[in-house]
Amino acid sequence: MVRQEKAGRRRWFEDAELELVVWHDEAGAVAGFQLIYWQKDGERALTWRPGAGFSHSRVDSGSNSPLKNESPILHPDGVVPWHQMESLFQDKSAALEAPLREMVLARLKARK
């Protein structure tokens, strides 16, 4: 499934195992992306921004909070499973347009 915001600045691709969010600048260039995936102990987000590189986070959905805060919050997380991410993205991204797929895959391979 693909969701496109009316402003055209964010695109969201969903699969049962992986989500990809892509941000675009005013000129349409990729301004960053985020891969959301699941581990045994919860959801993770791998975010890439030009100039900053990658950040890896655990997603706290807030659903277990006694305050019932249901806004997801990102907390810094440990080691990125790079090979798993490359493999999962390759398996799930065949339907993406080639330039976007190649750019994300190149960033994953470069790890920066």
Q: Give bridge partners of residue 74 from the DSSP assignment.
A: 59
Q: Give the Cα separation of 88 and 85 in Å (integer).
A: 5
Q: Which residue has the higher pLDDT, 78 or 20?
A: 20
Listed by start position, the domains of the chain span: 2-110
This prediction has a pTM of 0.82
Q: Cβ(31)–Cβ(49) under 8 Å?
A: yes
pLDDT tens for 20-77 read 999 999 888 999 999 999 988 889 999 999 999 999 998 876 666 566 656 677 777 8
> For residue 109, which of 43, 48, 20 has the smallest C-alpha distance?
48
Q: Which residue has the higher pLDDT, 9 or 67?
A: 9
